[in-house]
């Protein structure tokens, strides 16, 4: 019985912290998009999301890597 005098206030304190954390999360828009992150991993990056400079840099990097692979795979003459 005496343990209840300690456990009930502690449980009420935890309940108060949980309620506060829930309302803080709602206030800070933590629950706005629940499905987006789950689906985002299924799709590759879209080229249309990149700026033109980033697209060009990605093409240059890919072509340089392709050239290096071709040079490394050719037998020495």
Could you give the 3-state DSSP secondary structure of residue 51?
Answer: coil
Q: Same domain, yes or no, for 27 and 48?
A: no
Q: 20 lies in which domain range?
A: 1-32
Q: How many domains does the chain have?
A: 2
**What pLDDT score does 4 carry?**
93
Q: Where residue 77 falls among pLDDT bands split at 50, 70, 90?
A: low
For the entire predicted model, the pTM comes to 0.47
Angle at 60 between CA 76 and CA 64, to 5 degrees: 15
Q: How far apart are CA 42 and CA 38, in angstroms?
A: 8
Q: Where residue 75 falls among pLDDT bands split at 50, 70, 90?
A: low
Query: Would 77 be classed as within a structural domain?
Result: yes
Q: Same domain, yes or no, for 50 and 22?
A: no
Residues 5-58 have pLDDT tens digits of 999 999 999 999 999 999 999 999 888 888 887 787 777 666 667 788 888 888
Query: Would 39 be classed as within a structural domain?
Result: no
């Amino acid at each position: 019985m005496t343990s209840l005098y300690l456990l009930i206030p502690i449980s009420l304190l935890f309940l108060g912290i949980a309620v506060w954390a829930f309302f803080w999360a709602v206030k800070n828009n933590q629950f706005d998009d629940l499905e987006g992150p789950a689906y985002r991993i299924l799709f590759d990056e879209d080229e249309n999301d990149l700026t033109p400079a980033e697209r060009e840099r990605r093409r240059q990097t890919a072509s340089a890597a392709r050239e290096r692979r071709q040079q490394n795979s050719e037998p020495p003459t």
